[in-house]
């Protein structure tokens, strides 16, 4: 996400459609400005709707800390990704 280099073969059809070139540009500018992550810490996982599993990681950067919520479908494709602020 930081570089904008997305392997679309890893995405579900819906996620692929949602990640337009403009969306990727905005995301990579926002997260690229944070610099390299200092750490990734797994916080847990849970089953969600439609046979999907959400994985949550704490991502620490020099200036901020975020949670990364990464959702995989039953085929292992990326069905969603969010970066809510860490609490």
Is position 27 within any domain? yes
The 3-class SS string of the chain reads CCCCCCCHHHECHHHHHHCCHHHHHHHHHHHHCCCCCCEEEEEEEEEECCCEEEEEEEEECCCCEEEEEEEECCCCCEEEEECCECC
Q: What is the pLDDT of residue 56?
A: 96
Q: Where residue 34 falls among pLDDT bands split at 50, 70, 90?
A: very high
| Global pTM value | 0.83
Summarised one tens digit per residue, pLDDT across range 46-78 is 999 879 999 999 999 999 999 999 999 999 999
In a domain, 1, yes or no: no
Domain harbouring 18, CATH code: 3.10.450.590
Task: Flag whether 75 is in a domain.
Answer: yes
Residue 26 within a domain: yes
Q: What percent of the chain has pLDDT over 70?
A: 100
**Count of domains observed in the chain:** 1
pLDDT at 85: 84
Q: Average pLDDT in the 23-51 region?
A: 91
Domain that holds residue 22: 8-82
Q: Is residue 3 part of a domain?
A: no
């Amino acid at each position: 996400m930081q570089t904008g280099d997305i392997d679309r073969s890893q995405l579900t059809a819906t996620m692929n459609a949602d990640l337009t070139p403009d969306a990727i540009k905005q995301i990579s500018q926002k997260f690229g400005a944070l610099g390299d992550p200092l750490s990734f810490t797994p916080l847990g996982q849970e089953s969600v709707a439609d046979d999907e599993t959400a994985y949550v990681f704490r991502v620490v950067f020099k200036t901020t800390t975020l949670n990364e919520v990464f959702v995989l479908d039953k085929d292992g494709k990326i069905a969603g990704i969010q970066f809510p602020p860490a609490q």
